[in-house]
Amino acid sequence: EARMLRDNVGVIDISNFANYVISGPSAHSWLDALVANHVPRDTGKSCLTPLIGVRGGLAGDFTITCTGDDSYMMIGSGMAERYHRRFFDMVAMPDDTKLEFATTRIAGFNVAGPRSREMLQRITNADLSNDAWRFMQSRWIDVAGIRCLAIRVSFTGDLGWELHCDAGDQCALYSALLAAASACDGGPVGSRALGALRIEKGYGSWGREYSPEYWPQEAGMDRLVRLDKAFLHKDAYLAIKDNKPREILSLFEIDGDAAAASNADAAGGEPVFTPNGQPVGRVTSGAYGYHVGMSLAIGYVDPAVASAGDAVDIFILGKPHRGRILQAPPFDPAGTRLRS
């Protein structure tokens, strides 16, 4: 599945995301007061943004897209929806604006891979060219006659679009997507393959790499925090923003011979040591990177002890596996394919 997507195209069910629809004259001001990044004002523009917790850590990460005049869709972790609702309640909702919890009403798929544009062009008349549709832009289009909010973004790190539709159209859209994918030597891709693909790109995931215990500067999310505006728990963030990271989100390559000998890859929770036995961190996610041909892991390490290029020992199934901290993700570090 991973090879199929990287070589051609894959279709991934993303209906497990939490979906929120915010509409009304004050929709922008409410969202901008909630999250740490600037919320786009122009229809078709999207942003990635963290939500800051009560102690300045990462309470959430969201994609927000402006879907029309005074209308937005916000997408986040499905398993954290109830948790995030408590933060939404902390910012007063203006009388002229409505927040809809739309997870059960909206379904979706991610179409990704180097042939995703070719595949989608078979079933939509929308102009999908790179000149007409840039990365992180969105618009309403018809796909196989089904109205979809299409966002040019992909958790795989490859060229792709998220397609969000009415839940009643989910099965019909899926059938049309699979038929078009088959014509491009593609097909369905599951969550385990998606996990391997996002780790090749070094992407973190909510509940693993991102959670309230981590500061934005530790998870590489501080670049998305804008201090020229107000946002929820800004005071808590200001209190920790200049602190040195206690640990840094890092990507590891595990020695291929060691991984082959044990027939195992990291999965999450494995301790990380220096070669001389000093504890330095832990793994949060792991998988075999099928496209890059490497056993990979993501985790946190103490920057005072280890950094990019250093050797480490990751204990998988209780046995040390030699690895090293990578300077950049092994798949498309420049983001060329994502923006192609």
Q: Is residue 336 part of a domain?
A: no
Q: Is residue 276 part of a domain?
A: yes
45 with 142, same domain: the answer is yes
42 with 149, same domain: the answer is yes
161/11 Cα distance (integer angstroms) = 10
How far are the Cα atoms of 61, 233, 249, 284, 289 from residue 108, in angstroms, in the given order?
Answer: 18, 31, 29, 27, 25
157 with 262, same domain: the answer is no
Q: Is residue 101 part of a domain?
A: yes
Sign of CA dihedral 258, 262, 264, 266: negative
pLDDT band at 339 (very low <50, low <70, confident <90, very high): very high
Q: What is the mean pLDDT of residues 206-219?
A: 97
200/97 Cα distance (integer angstroms) = 40
**Quick one: the chain helix, strand, coil %, rounded to 5?**
20, 35, 45
Calculate the CA dihedral of residues 168, 174, 177, 182 and round it to 10 degrees: -160
∠ Cα 241 243 244 (to 5°): 125
- Over the stretch 96-108, which tens digit does the pLDDT of each residue have? 999 999 999 999 9
- Over the stretch 229-267, which tens digit does the pLDDT of each residue have? 999 999 999 999 999 999 999 999 999 998 998 999 999
pLDDT value of position 292: 97
Average pLDDT over the chain, rounded to an integer: 98
pLDDT value of position 120: 99
302/38 Cα distance (integer angstroms) = 31
- Over the stretch 77-89, which tens digit does the pLDDT of each residue have? 999 999 999 999 9
Q: What is the mean pLDDT of residues 23-29?
A: 99
How far are the Cα atoms of 14, 80, 295, 305, 331 from residue 247, in angstroms, in the given order?
Answer: 31, 24, 22, 10, 24
Q: What is the mean pLDDT of residues 27-33?
A: 99
- CATH number, domain of 293, equals 2.40.30.110
118/110 Cα distance (integer angstroms) = 14
Look-up of token digits 């099965």: 171
pLDDT band at 29 (very low <50, low <70, confident <90, very high): very high
Q: Quick count: other Cβ atoms within 10 Å of Cβ 258?
A: 18
307 with 181, same domain: the answer is no
Q: What is the DSSP letter of 168?
A: G
- CATH number, domain of 6, equals 3.30.1360.120
* Domain total in the chain: 2
Sign of CA dihedral 85, 88, 93, 98: negative
- Indicate the residue type of 47: C
pLDDT band at 73 (very low <50, low <70, confident <90, very high): very high
Q: Of 136, 169, 196, at which residue does a domain stop?
A: 196
138 with 282, same domain: the answer is no
Q: Of 171, 196, 221, at which residue does a domain stop?
A: 196
**Sequential DSSP letters for 78-105:** STTHHHHHHHHTTSPPPTT-EEEE-TTT
Q: Is residue 264 part of a domain?
A: yes
12 with 155, same domain: the answer is yes
Q: Is residue 203 part of a domain?
A: no
Residues pairing with 101 in the sheet: 20
**Pick from 195, 198, 241: nearest CA to 221:** 241
Q: Is residue 221 part of a domain?
A: no
pLDDT band at 112 (very low <50, low <70, confident <90, very high): very high
Query: Are 164 and 16 a contacting pair, CB within 8 Å?
Result: no
pLDDT value of position 20: 99
Q: Is residue 120 part of a domain?
A: yes
207/48 Cα distance (integer angstroms) = 17
107 with 184, same domain: the answer is yes
268 with 128, same domain: the answer is no
Which tokens sit at 132?
């007409």
19 with 136, same domain: the answer is yes
23 with 171, same domain: the answer is yes
157 with 83, same domain: the answer is yes
Q: Is residue 236 part of a domain?
A: no
Which tokens sit at 294?
């490497």
Which tokens sit at 209?
């790499």
- Over the stretch 267-306, which tens digit does the pLDDT of each residue have? 999 999 999 999 999 999 999 999 999 999 999 999 999 9
pLDDT value of position 316: 97
pLDDT value of position 281: 98
- Over the stretch 127-180, which tens digit does the pLDDT of each residue have? 999 999 999 999 999 999 999 999 999 999 999 999 999 999 999 999 999 999
How far are the Cα atoms of 55, 210, 230, 236 from residue 241, in angstroms, in the given order?
Answer: 11, 16, 15, 9
Q: Of 136, 163, 196, at which residue does a domain stop?
A: 196
pLDDT value of position 72: 99
Domain that holds residue 111: 2-196
Percent of the chain whose pLDDT exceeds 90: 99
pLDDT value of position 232: 99
How far are the Cα atoms of 50, 135, 252, 336 from residue 44, in angstroms, in the given order?
Answer: 20, 11, 36, 22
pLDDT band at 199 (very low <50, low <70, confident <90, very high): very high
78 with 141, same domain: the answer is yes
Q: Quick count: other Cβ atoms within 10 Å of Cβ 90?
A: 11
H helices then E strands: how many in the chain? Answer: 9, 17
